[in-house]
Amino acid sequence: MNKLVTTNITRFILLVLLQVLILSNINFLGFINPYLYVFFILLLPLNLDHWKVLIYSFLIGIVIDVFQDSGGINAAASLVAAYFRPNILKFAFGVSYEFQTIKFYQTPFTQRLTYILLIVFIHHFVLFSFAYFNFTYSLEILKNTLFSGIFTVLLIVISMILFRKRYR
Amino acid sequence: MQQIINFLIKYKNTLLFLLLLFISLVFTVQSHSYHKSKFINSANSLTGGVYNWANDIDEYFNLKEYNDRLVEENKYLRSRLGELNAKNLDTIYQDTSSFDNPYQFTSAKVIRNQFSNIDNYILVDKGEKDSIHSDLGVITSRGIVGIVEESSRNFSRVISILNTNSSISVQLKNTNHFGSLLWNGKNPNIVQLEEVPRLAPVKKGDTITTDGRSYIFPKGIPVGVVDNFELDVNQSYYKINVRLFNDMTNVGYVYIIDNQNLEELQSLETENNE
């Protein structure tokens, strides 16, 4: 248990620094940035109590917000993604999630991808809706959600492949 | 009572979710109004320190560019000096009992710059320690950058002109017709100038400068040139796209302007209003 806590704290700090120092400054084609810190929410133990998931997700969101001067948009987006996480887990992994025995890196790739896609796109949609905070910008919200979402999912899949061995 | 407790236990996750969502919504709404975001603010020692450390590394990659800018600015200042010397000096007297220049300039380094969001902020490495406080103008040698919004001891947060909450009073250089400089969130090189009356003779390529009405910026700081313009729906005001002189994606070093006469000017103004 202790090892799990230290791993998650290290992951929290590393992902926040990576996000605010590098990933938020990429500005690919002028506006596309990946939000890799969502990976933290995805990797929280799948059988963790729901209220803990909510609090930890809120925490990483608010820390990112303080760094980026963005009000509460990252906190809100992470929170909404975390709120729907149990439903998405049930949808993506089906029966094996009910038995509470699965680990993130031991699930079939397609099921894992469904889980990642749903969480990332919910997170990004809420994030950009709150960032623009105005429905006259609907097109920008959808455009940003789509492109940044693809970028984030791509980065998550790459980091998954890179770090898979250590966790087995 | 039992039922209430049961209800709370049953829906504790949803209630926690709603509570936290409410908090983040409050922060979000605050960030959309000027001068309200006290808590969520990167001008604190932790985030400022992290950005300062990262900027120490990043700085080296832009040294050449900043050098070129300094040379350009020196050249301009030297030419102004030449103009002054060429004038007849014996008619100028100096009153040493007061400052002739009410504006005091402080140089600062940008340690974090944003331009891809809809509300962008800039973090600079001077704070209350260097007598920087809110509502000071920020410029570079090429043009305006923004206004200081919040200061901590060592750092200040500047509300960039690339922010939908920012509104700065500017004028056409030739004719003194003024309007407000806003941003629509799209292109970081183009800002919008609105409320310029239809009577004003606007031409493509006209220079836009600050007009000094808000006392934050001195009159005549360059802003940009007119890129294109059209009349608004009511046919009474122009909507002008202004191409900035500044490259807002690479700011580097800035000057923060403190107007020493600000209090005097404002007290006169309130007297007038009463």
pLDDT tens track for A143-162: 989 999 999 999 999 998 88
Q: Do A69 and B16 touch (CB under 8 A)?
A: no
Token pair 């002054």 is at which residue?
Answer: B84
Q: Which CATH superfamily is domain B40-86+103-259 in?
A: Rod shape-determining protein MreC, domain 2 (2.40.10.350)
pLDDT in tens, A34-79: 999 999 999 888 888 889 999 999 999 999 998 988 888 999 999 9
Domain boundaries, position A100:
2-167
Q: A122 CB near a chain B CB, below 8 Å?
A: no
pLDDT in tens, A29-46: 877 889 999 999 998 888
User: What global pTM score does this model have?
Assistant: 0.83
Angle at A18 between CA A12 and CA A19, to 5 degrees: 90
Q: Please tell me the distance in Å from B118's CA to the nearest CA on chain A.
A: 7
Q: Do A69 and B50 touch (CB under 8 A)?
A: no
Q: Do A65 and B27 touch (CB under 8 A)?
A: yes
Domain ranges of chain B: 40-86+103-259
Instruction: Tell how far CA A86 is from the center of its chain.
Output: 14
Q: B20 CB near a chain A CB, below 8 Å?
A: yes
Instruction: Answer yes or no: is pLDDT of A168 > 50.
Output: no
Dist CA B112 CA B133 (whole Å)? 18
Q: Please tell me the distance in Å from B46's CA to the nearest CA on chain A.
A: 9
Q: Do A76 and B28 touch (CB under 8 A)?
A: yes
What pLDDT, on a 0 to 100 scale, did the predictor assign at position B116?
Answer: 84
Q: Please tell me the distance in Å from B10's CA to the nearest CA on chain A.
A: 12
What pLDDT, on a 0 to 100 scale, did the predictor assign at position A152?
Answer: 93
pLDDT in tens, A85-142: 989 988 888 776 666 667 777 788 888 899 999 999 999 999 999 888 878 888 888 9
Biggest CA pair distance of chain B: 93
What pLDDT, on a 0 to 100 scale, did the predictor assign at position B122?
Answer: 92
Q: Which residues contact B222 (CB under 8 A, 6 or more apart)?
A: B142, B143, B144, B207, B208, B209, B245
Q: Do B40 and A30 touch (CB under 8 A)?
A: no
Chain B interface, mutation test: which of A17, A70, A79, A128, most B Cβ atoms within 10 Å?
A: A70
Q: A164 CB near a chain B CB, below 8 Å?
A: no
Number of domains in chain A: 1
Which among B28, B47, B50 has CB closest to A71? B28
**pLDDT, greater one: B202 or B100:** B202
Token pair 């940044």 is at which residue?
Answer: A148
Q: How confident is the model at residue B37 (pLDDT cuts 50, 70, 90)?
A: low
Q: A73 CB near a chain B CB, below 8 Å?
A: yes
Dist CA B244 CA B189 (whole Å)? 6
pLDDT in tens, B69-111: 889 888 888 888 887 777 655 555 555 555 567 788 889 999 9
Three-state DSSP at A40 gives helix
Instruction: Tell how far CA B170 is from the center of its chain.
Output: 13
Q: Please tell me the distance in Å from B24's CA to the nearest CA on chain A.
A: 4
CATH of the domain at A7: 1.10.1760
What pLDDT, on a 0 to 100 scale, did the predictor assign at position A40?
Answer: 93
What pLDDT, on a 0 to 100 scale, did the predictor assign at position B34?
Answer: 64
Three-state DSSP at B200 gives coil
Counting beta carbons within 10 angstroms of the beta carbon of residue A103, is it exposed (0 to 12), middle (13 to 18) or buried (19 or more)?
exposed
What pLDDT, on a 0 to 100 scale, did the predictor assign at position B97?
Answer: 52
Q: Find, in chain B, the residue whose alpha carbon is nearest to that of A53.
A: B13
Q: A133 CB near a chain B CB, below 8 Å?
A: yes
Measured between beta carbons, the chain B residues lying within 8 angstroms of A69 are 31, 37, 40-42, 114, 119, 121, 123, 157
Which among A17, A54, A130 has CB closest to B16? A54
Q: A50 CB near a chain B CB, below 8 Å?
A: yes
What pLDDT, on a 0 to 100 scale, did the predictor assign at position B215?
Answer: 83
Quote the mean pLDDT of chain B: 84
Q: B101 CB near a chain A CB, below 8 Å?
A: no
Measured between beta carbons, the chain B residues lying within 8 angstroms of A21 are 50, 54
Q: Are strands B207-210 and B237-244 parallel, antiparallel or unpaired?
A: unpaired
Q: Do A131 and B118 touch (CB under 8 A)?
A: yes
Q: Which whole number is the average pLDDT over B193-214?
A: 87
Whether the CB-CB separation of B247 and B115 falls below 8 Å is answered with no
Measured between beta carbons, the chain A residues lying within 8 angstroms of B123 are 69
Chain A interface, mutation test: which of B18, B20, B21, B114, most A Cβ atoms within 10 Å?
A: B20
Q: Do B13 and A51 touch (CB under 8 A)?
A: yes
Token pair 């070093």 is at which residue?
Answer: B253
What pLDDT, on a 0 to 100 scale, did the predictor assign at position A13?
Answer: 93
Dist CA B13 CA B26 (whole Å)? 20
